[in-house]
Structure 1
Amino acid sequence: MKTTPLLMLSALLCTLATCINVMPPADFDLEKMAGKWYLVGLATNAQWFVTNKETMKIGTTVLAPTPGGDLDVSYANLTPAGTCWRMTHLAKKTDTPGRFSFRSHTWNNENDMRVVDAVYDSYAIFHTIKTVGDVPEVMNKLYSRSQEVSADLQEKFVQFALDTGVLSENILMLPKSAECSA
């Protein structure tokens, strides 16, 4: 089948329509998100991911709610070279509990981040729409309180990623990794 600009635009609009409807649960509790999480699953059609997914491994994320309702997000990953890569964002609360926004100066993009599912002592699924200029990209993340996740949870994450327009080959359950030292 030949890809036409109209077909590509239709696919993009369908993806965006799906993304717009992804919202946090009504009973979202920011305080219960606090603490250390392992990034065990990642799903996005972004080119940087497609290029680098073979070298990606589990990393850690520490979530720290602020007194004002924002969320400090600190990432740490061990690189293939054995060094530690770190990044921190202050995700600002919105009018919707569980939905945050921030600008990444590292990647030069705007982020609309939503916690869409959480069992606070076990796992959380995040859905982020990253925008550079006028181009949106969907990124879904599966966090766990341990590096182990059940087959059922993996399946749930895969289905969510597919439902938000991510291609099946761009859904990755990350392999275990050593952690960065403090």
Structure 2
Amino acid sequence: MGATLLSRVLVLLWVTSAGAEVLVQPDFDAKKFAGLWYVVAMVSDCKVFRGSKDHLLMFTSNVTATAEGNLSVHMEVPGPDGCNQMDAEYLRTGSQGHFRVPTLGYLDVRVVDTDYSSFAVVYIYKELEGALSTLVQLYSRTQEASPQAMKTFQDFYPTVGLPHDMMVALPKSDACSSGGQGAP
């Protein structure tokens, strides 16, 4: 019992210190962030990601801001069996633009940079299958990210220790044709 408690405390301390250097978009505005986003590129050190990155497809996140400062997110992710839909609550922790998502194992989610109208860079520190990993996603309001958005994304992820060879630009798919608008 004591060893389990100690290991959990150490993980929490490590998570806190690991995310401490990652800043959040100044004056983040959840209402401006709301709406349809395409996830057009990703990079991660997750073992599951490494094994599947060549088969991933572009997906959507339809974001709604809540009065409490949380985000309600509806995702449509193309997969081998069609369109997989899921809903998640991004629970605000501390400052605006900083969240956790217990249902997905996301311990720390930060909107690092956004102009609200065309792109966002989102940092995620998560636990999957008992392993901790970092994931950075590039969101775009269209299926084509601008060169400036891609540069901002590519300049950011090495700062959290992610290598360029783990980045993938996600190909388009028509498996989820509702564009993130439908309900599950």
- Normalising TM by the smaller chain, what interval? 0.7 to 0.9
Q: Cα 1:118–1:179, aligned 2, differ >3 Å: closer, same or farther? A: farther
Q: Aligned with 1:38: secondary structure?
A: strand
Q: Aligned with 1:141: secondary structure?
A: strand
Shift of 1:176: 1.6
Q: In structure 2, what is the equivalent of residue 119 of structure 1?
A: 115
One-letter code aligned to 2:91: K
Is 1:164 matched up with 2:163?
no
Shift of 1:85: 0.9
Q: In structure 2, what is the equivalent of residue 131 of structure 1?
A: 127
**Residue-by-residue CA offset, 1:61-83 (whole Å, 9 max, x unaligned):** 001111221111111022134x1
TM-score normalized with structure 1 length: 0.82
TM-score normalized with structure 2 length: 0.81
Matches within 5 A, 1:52-91: 52-81=52-81, 83-91=82-90
C-alpha distance in structure 2 between counterparts of 1:179 and 1:121, whole Å: 25
One-letter code aligned to 1:116: V
Aligned residues: 165
Unpaired stretches in structure 2, ≥5 consecutive residues: 1-14
C-alpha distance in structure 1 between counterparts of 2:165 and 2:30, whole Å: 32
Shift of 1:19: 3.7
Unpaired stretches in structure 1, ≥5 consecutive residues: 1-14
Q: Cα 1:76–1:127, aligned 2, differ >3 Å: closer, same or farther? A: same
Instruction: Indicate the RMSD between aligned Cα atoms, in angstroms.
Output: 2.3
Shift of 1:112: 1.0
**Residue-by-residue CA offset, 1:116-150 (whole Å, 9 max, x unaligned):** 10111111111011135984311111100000112
Q: Aligned with 2:69: secondary structure?
A: coil
**Are the counterparts in 2 of residues 45 and 166 from structure 1 also a CA contact under 8 Å?**
yes
Shift of 1:20: 2.3
Q: Aligned with 1:146: secondary structure?
A: coil
Q: In structure 2, what is the equivalent of residue 25 of structure 1?
A: 25
**Are the counterparts in 2 of residues 30 and 65 from structure 1 also a CA contact under 8 Å?**
yes
Identity across matched positions, percent: 29
